[in-house]
Structure 1
Amino acid sequence: MLWDSVGDIRTLLTLPPAMALQVAHPAVGAGVDDHSVFRTDPWGRAERSLGSLQLWVYGGEAAVAEGIRLRRLHRTIKGTDAHGRPYHALTPHHYAWVHATGFPVVRHARGYLWGRRFTDAEERQLYGEWLRVGRLLGLRDRDMPQTVEEFWPYYRDMLAHEVELTKVAEELTAVDPTVPPPDRGPLLVRLPLRALWPLLRGPFARLRHFVTVGLLPPEAREAIGLSWTPRQERRLRRFGKVVGRLVPLLPERLRYFPMAHEARLRHRSQQQR
Structure 2
Amino acid sequence: MSRAAADPVPPPPGGVLWSLAGDIRALLMLPAALTLQVAHPAVGAGVDEHSIFRTDPWGRGERSLRSLQLWVYGGEAAAEEGRRLRELHKTIQGTDARGRRYHALSPANYAWVHATGFPVYQHATRYLVRPLTGAQERQLYAEWLQVGRILGLHDRDMPQTIEEFWPYYRKMLADEIEATVVVRELVATDQPVPPPDRGPLAVRLLLRALWPVLLPPLARFRRFMTIGLMPPDAREAIGLEWSDEQERALRRFARVVRVVVPLLPERIRYLPLAREARRAAGLSGSDRLAR
Identity of aligned residues (%): 70
Q: CA deviation at 1:186?
A: 4.0
Aligned to 1:14: 29
1:225 to 239, 255, 269: 239
1:192 to 166, 181, 206: 206
1:138 to 148, 152, 170: 152
Give the whole-Å Cα distance in 1 for the aligned partners of 2:169 and 2:232: 13
1:214 aligns with 2:228: yes
1:50 aligns with 2:65: yes
Give the whole-Å Cα distance in 2 for the aligned partners of 1:13 and 1:88: 29
Runs of 4+ aligned residues of structure 1 deviating over 4 Å after TM superposition are none
Aligned to 2:111: 96
What amino acid is aligned across from residue 18 of structure 2 in structure 1?
W
Query: Cα distance 1:38–1:75, how it changes in 2: closer, same or farther (>3 A)?
Result: same
1:87 aligns with 2:87: no
Aligned to 1:164: 178
Q: CA deviation at 1:195?
A: 2.1
What is the number of equivalent residue pairs in this alignment?
268
1:68 aligns with 2:83: yes
Please give the root-mean-square deviation of Cα atoms over the aligned residues, in Å.
Answer: 1.1
Query: Cα distance 1:187–1:238, how it changes in 2: closer, same or farther (>3 A)?
Result: farther
Give the whole-Å Cα distance in 1 for the aligned partners of 2:101 and 2:199: 39
- TM-score (norm: length of structure 1): 0.96
SS in structure 2 opposite 1:9?
Answer: coil
Give the whole-Å Cα distance in 1 for the aligned partners of 2:157 and 2:186: 27
CA contact (8 A) 1:179 1:205 kept: no
Tell me the alpha carbon deviations over residues 179-234 of structure 1, each in whole angstroms, 9 at most, x when there is no partner. 21111234454332222111101000000110111110000000001100000000
SS in structure 1 opposite 2:282?
Answer: helix
Give the whole-Å Cα distance in 2 for the aligned partners of 1:14 and 1:190: 25
1:242 to 256, 261, 268: 256
CA contact (8 A) 2:185 2:191 kept: no
What amino acid is aligned across from residue 102 of structure 2 in structure 1?
Y
**Which shifted more, 80-89 or 192-201?**
192-201
1:152 to 130, 151, 166: 166
Structure 2 unmatched ranges of 5 or more: 1-15, 284-291
Query: Cα distance 1:185–1:10, how it changes in 2: closer, same or farther (>3 A)?
Result: farther
Give the whole-Å Cα distance in 2 for the aligned partners of 1:83 and 1:124: 35
Aligned to 1:268: 282
Give the whole-Å Cα distance in 1 for the aligned partners of 2:260 and 2:209: 28
Tell me the alpha carbon deviations over residues 218-252 of structure 1, each in whole angstroms, 9 at most, x when there is no partner. 00000001100000000111111111111111110
Tell me the alpha carbon deviations over residues 123-167 of structure 1, each in whole angstroms, 9 at most, x when there is no partner. 000000000000000000000000011100000000001101111
